[in-house]
Structure 1
């Protein structure tokens, strides 16, 4: 029997797993933020931050915050609720899937959920900073680059600010659909 996949809001008991996933994904890039900063981001926008469960396991997470277009969180500072903005642009700050569960469509599952959240909020765009040479991955999902937005070194080498329109309907472009 296949395990149930569920996306839900982050709960207090999820933080050990979220911190471990974030540390494993970003420490090698020098971009790990630590528990307090991660929790501050979720506290600033709890309705746009989620965990992904596969069966009973926390298998991934997404932290997204409403930020003005062409702005992004400072990696070295906790989130201040005054920084976040109203609908318009939802900034995908972190998306991580556990290494043993990658290439199964789980990130697409999180992206679909996030797109639905952005649509329900009235956002027009989803933005992100592509790190660790992931620009081709995000380009294949409809994100376009905006050169010069992220200062050199702010998010590591090769970091680039990218965005895409929020899909107008629940049907996503083929690049974001799960492949059977």
Structure 2
């Protein structure tokens, strides 16, 4: 899921920003960012479900000098399917498909290219870990952003009703 539509001016200084693995203290900020982005769409999952979709090797935060400025959660998931937002995931199973479940950038950092950088970082991880594809579900009118990142819609793919109307399954090759 992604809600990158709202653009606000970024803080003047984002020096020291880096992508790093998620650490335990990050979850409060991740949960706040997720709620602020998805609550208006009725898609908030809560911390337990978010944690279940954060595969350690493919999920990370944007650390802006000790503050979480964004995050990306991805996990191996069968191609053509997606997690149900109403329930946490069980154990992760091997798949050649990597599912980008969630990405949120702090509103104050949007419009600076961070979304594309996080996606590019995930593509690099996918390449080094021998994934073949990345999939996602576009919500909130973000399909244009995902198309610009190389994702193609698969409108015939059935989605859980929890994503709401207008959600679109999309994917792209990693190679």
TM-score range, shorter chain: 0.7 to 0.9
Residue 18 in structure 1 maps to residue 30 in structure 2: yes
Structure 2 match to 1:155: 163
Structure 1 unpaired stretches of 5+: 169-180
Which residue of 41, 60, 71 corresponds with 1:29? 41
Moved over 6 A (4+): none
Structure 2's unaligned 5+ residue stretches are 1-12
Matches within 5 A, 1:77-156: 77-81=87-91, 84-151=92-159, 153-156=161-164
The alignment of Structure 1 onto Structure 2 pairs a total of residues equal to 163
Corresponding residue number in structure 1 for 2:71:
61
Distance 1:67 1:87 in 2: 6
Q: CA deviation at 1:134?
A: 1.0
- RMSD across aligned C-alpha pairs, in angstroms? 1.4
Which residue does 1:50 correspond to in 2? 60
TM-score by length of 1: 0.86
* C-alpha spacing 1:141/1:2, structure 2 compared with 1 (3 Å): closer
Q: Distance in 1 between matches of 2:156 and 2:162?
A: 12
CA distance in structure 1 between the aligned counterparts of 2:14 and 2:27, rounded to whole angstroms: 26
Residues 52 and 2 of structure 1: is their aligned pair in 2 closer, same or farther, counting only changes over 3 Å?
Answer: closer
Q: Which has the higher contact order (CA 8 A, sep 6+)?
A: 2
